Structure formats: C-alpha cells, structure tokens
Structure 1
C-alpha cells in the first residue's frame, strides 16, 4: 500500500526534495521533522525508497465499522504505529519503547520533536523526552527534516487538500553516539533536542519560538474564547 499511496502523492502533488542522499540506504536512523500539517506523515515517506514508521493515535486503528477498518488498513499500510497517547506519562513511555523497537530492527523512525502541529507555521521548542531519549538509547543518527508549505495544502480543519507542490528538505545526519546511554541526564537531553531543532530551523527557514507548541495552542484558544465571549451580541469589543 505504501507504494501505491506514495506513487499517487508524487503524481498529484509533485513534491520536490533536497538532500535525499542523506537518508541511508540501509540501517537505522531517526528522521526528526518540523510538523505543519496532518499530511506530513504521508509526504515524507512518499519521497523515500525506504519505509518510515511514525507514531499515530490509537483511535485511527480502533474506529468501528467499514470506515474504521479502511482507515486502520490505510494507516498500517503507510507505516503508522498505533500508540494510545491519552495516558500521559505512560503513553509517552510506550511511544519511546515503540521508537526504540523500530530502530533496533534497523529501520527508519519518524518523529516530530515539537510534539504537535505548529498552530501558526512557526517552529516551536522541541520536547526532549522522545527524540533525544530514543537517540541516546540506541546511538542511531538523527536526520533533520524540514517540510515546506504542507500547511498551505491542508490547514487544520480542511478536508479537501489544495493542489500545490510541497517541499522536503533533508539535512546531514547528526551523530549523538558520544552521549549513548546518557538518556537519563536531562541537561544532555535538552542539549541534543536544541541542536536538532536548530538544524531543522536552518533547513526550513521558519521563525523559531522558544515555547512549546502545546502552550501556544492553549494561549491562542484562550485568546479566541475571551474575544468571542467578552462582547455581547450586537456589541463591539473596545
């Protein structure tokens, strides 16, 4: 199914790629990408010859009915790995174990260090728990990736994508093997994560915000709620 989905995306959207030679032909590696759109997890694997496994919400695999079964088959076919992300710390540990398992099989593991999609197209602070811990536990190289313009193709809430060319810019692998086994040191985890985010920023050209994207989303939601709730119907807010 990966071949058919990938071929279809390449024919319809014609994504351009820079730096594809940085992805090894064999052996494990972590692809660390910015996250602009739901479609990021489809465009990146589509342009690579190798399978890339991403973490996906378990709900995509457990929905009832024919639609649910088709959705589950699709996500499995494009290399998505179901993880229950509603369980807080336990869910995070499960995601890390899943990532380590993928790397130990000698495969490619895709991860979004920001933890969620950017709410406004800017690049947000990376979370040190997942990416850095998997890298330091396995010694696998980290390959920075920048998705370009995917948020314009399918913004949050938009069902039908816009036909335009997205871009994928892939950087040189980052070697953190000197820190292998130090995944319990929070200062090392922060340093590794920041180095990866800097590499992604250089590739993407995005403005960097030293704040977690989840916090930014909450602030934007609260601001929108205040703006809509402060003014009574028919009144303007001063």
Structure 2
C-alpha cells in the first residue's frame, strides 16, 4: 500500500505602513558635476521665507550671487556664502503652481549662481507630488491546500496618490511573481509602485519539494508608503 505525503501550506499577508515620508526610497547625494548640480533642488509652495540648502563638497568657503531663477521663487537676498562644510543655503518663498499627482518630478526651471573662484553653477529646480495613496489587499490568508496550486494576491490603491511598496518578508518555500506564466519574481527589498486608482495582481507560487510532510505556515509582509 502506497503512503500519501501531504503538504498543507498557509500564508498570512501583512502590510506595514511607513507613513507617507517614503523613507525606504534611496536618496541620492548632491555633488558638483561641471557647471551643473547632478541632483535637483526639490521645492513646494511656501508663503514664508524658508531655508533651502544643498551640499557642495568641492566648493567650500566661497561667496555666491544668484543671477537667474524661476519666477515662482522669491529670494530674501541674492548674495550668500558657502560655509566650511560646503553647505550652500538661501531663504526662499515659493508661489503656488499647478502640481498634479504623477510619478516623475515636474521641472520648474533652474537657479543659476555665480560662485566665487568657480564661475556659473546651475541648480535644476523640481517638484514632486506623489499624493496620498491608500494600500489595501483583498486576501489576508492564503491556503494552498493539498494541490499546491498558485494563488492570486491583489494589491489595490484606490486613492489619489502613487503607492510605493516593497516585499520585506516571505517564506523560503514561496515565490511572489508579477506574471502567471513567466518567472518575473519580486525580490525582497525591491521597490515597486502602483498608480492612483489601480491594482496589481501578484501570483503566489509554492515550492514544497524540499519541505518535510506536514503543515507549513509563513508570512508575506509588504512595506508601503
């Protein structure tokens, strides 16, 4: 008489929200590349003078004067000084402007400065509005039963905002794929996004070949913006 080997696989799906500051997104460093700063200065509308700054490690203890700037930006003064750490700062007000929710930054123009003993330096000014997303998932408990067929998991964002999410935890015996027919697996730590009022269908694919017979459970954890 042949013995039947039974696998029972269960996955709990969890979401962890990191508020709306998107701290898990990697931040670029600002460095001087010729006459252009390689990373833009991001601004938002503000009615009172507020300090904005960039760090220029190759330009220290130098004076500067602002020559050109977008018309929505108002400077408290056009002259300034880069300190001993390379910090260039100025106080600005920014008028209101059309700032739609979108994935890519909006270009607002450039600030051009004349830096002492260096020359002209251009800083690209951009704005970004990812709105206010709302993450939800249809299934919070997935049971693969005896057949171990792949299951669907739908991540939803029915709100006016770009939702960023990444897979932070999953069982070793499970793959999470974007495709039902190809091995387009999501790796732990990779950042994905979902546009407003959209959803993504992911596929949960068990691989129990190396598991001992019995009941196996685990968690899938997503971190979201």
Please, what TM-score do these two structures have when normalized by structure 2? 0.23
Which is richer in strand?
A: 2
Please, what TM-score do these two structures have when normalized by structure 1? 0.22
Which is richer in helix?
A: 1
Larger Rg: 2
